[in-house]
Structure 1
């Protein structure tokens, strides 16, 4: 999983730094086609906003972070439910840790949406998004370290959504729209 995240960041950075495009607005569908996980983007972002009007990359980032937050809340609720079903360790402790990690993800993403002073620049937003990815990865890593299988279904959409938002912030920092994948 770490390798996938690292590769996505490197690919995004390389393309965003090397491809200059003058497009500053586009539809949600157009922006989604330029993210690493188009289908996930399209499904979750259009569920929240069905408009076909042109939007800026910054508006698109807000929409993707809203979708990230919605999915993070779903994952948090799911993890709490799973944790409640395990009466003893080690699974209960692992799920409890994941609940904490997913709670942190919701907090980080809400700070972006609330435009708090701590998250005011594209770099700050990228740091918060990276922290969210790290939290999801930490949950998965703890299960792997304990040789216990955690269903990837619980985090797959969240990981893909946050990776899309990361690609967008890297593109904003570089002054380019996200690269086509």
Structure 2
């Protein structure tokens, strides 16, 4: 009997010890700060289960803590997403899953960049990059829904990352009427070389049509017939959801990364250009940070 009581006492002591080691920020502080976010419940849960128990002293500190929180959850979600690959039953599920792997990777990368002290990041930059991370998760979800796959998407999206990202966007608070600084009519981040390229005069005409014979051709038809062809002047593609591709992956051209600039460029979907009907759920161009 004494041994049993000793066991109970030790067990209770162990429970108290474990509880003290997993306790996080002060609950009163947590409720006060999390009440300012659109999703207070996950905010409260993850902060109170955090290993840190120092008081949150300022809004900037709360933002930093919230971004670290969402980064940790995004990394866990990305790791979990990898484990779902073998559960894909066909090519459509595999296509949507592969998109999600890329998108979670981009999300983690963008949150990391936002938090990196060595990267120049204004409040507007942070709002843009965190919005990109949130859009990536929405695109992941959309890919499964478009292809009619709903059961495998639930484990991917039930990790609170989207809710926590919404919270960081709300905490960051960039005014809607904020105007970024400009130089010569361009955003300050545009490099001098790129600015010069965009400010360059209209490209020289390849052909001039003049009925009096002073140009290269007398009729428009002659000029069209002499053109190098759509394959050399317009980028085309024909992927679509109907063909088993997600909208995210259907883009004729996709640019991922910083610094992409396109001037006087045309992207379209091949069958539409050739005179066929428009392909549902297909996009000519996508751009991601």
TM range (shorter): 0.7 to 0.9
Greater Rg over alpha carbons, structure: 2
Deviations 1:24-67 (A, max 9, x none): xx933311111111110011233335425242111111111111
Q: Indicate conservation of the 8 Å contact 1:27/1:52, yes or no.
A: no
Kindly indicate whether residue 146 of structure 2 is the aligned counterpart of residue 134 of structure 1: no
Runs of 4 or more, structure 1, over 4 Å off, are: none
| CA distance in 2: counterparts of 1:153 and 1:55, whole angstroms | 35
1:166 and 2:193 are equivalent in the alignment: no
Deviations 1:93-118 (A, max 9, x none): 21111011001110011111213435
Q: Could you tell which deviates more after superposition, 120-129 or 42-51? A: 42-51
1:18-167 aligned at under 5 Å gives the runs 27-51=29-53, 53-86=55-88, 88-118=90-120, 120-149=121-150, 150-156=152-158, 157-167=160-170
Q: Deviations over 1:67-89 (max 9, x none)?
A: 11111111111111001333641
Deviation per CA, 1:135-170: give whole Å up to 9, x if none.
Answer: 000001111111110443432401111011111112
More helix by share: 1
Kindly indicate which of the two structures has a greater share of residues assigned to strand: 2
Number of residue pairs the alignment of both structures matches: 146
Q: 2:127, 2:169 within 8 Å by CA — same for their partners in 1? A: yes
CA pair 28-165 structure 1, distance change in 2 beyond 3 A: same
- Aligned-CA RMSD value: 1.9
Distance 1:33 1:46 in 2: 14
Give 5+ residue unaligned stretches, structure 1.
1-25, 175-181
Mapped to 2, the partners of 1:32 and 1:164 lie a distance apart of 9
Distance in 1 separating the partners of 2:116 and 2:86:
31
> Partners of 1:50 and 1:43 in 2: how far apart?
13
Contact persistence 2:137–2:162 (CA under 8 A)? yes
**TM-score normalised by length of structure 2:** 0.47
Greater RCO, 1 or 2 (C-alpha within 8 Å, sep 6+):
1
In structure 2, the residue matched to 1:9 is none
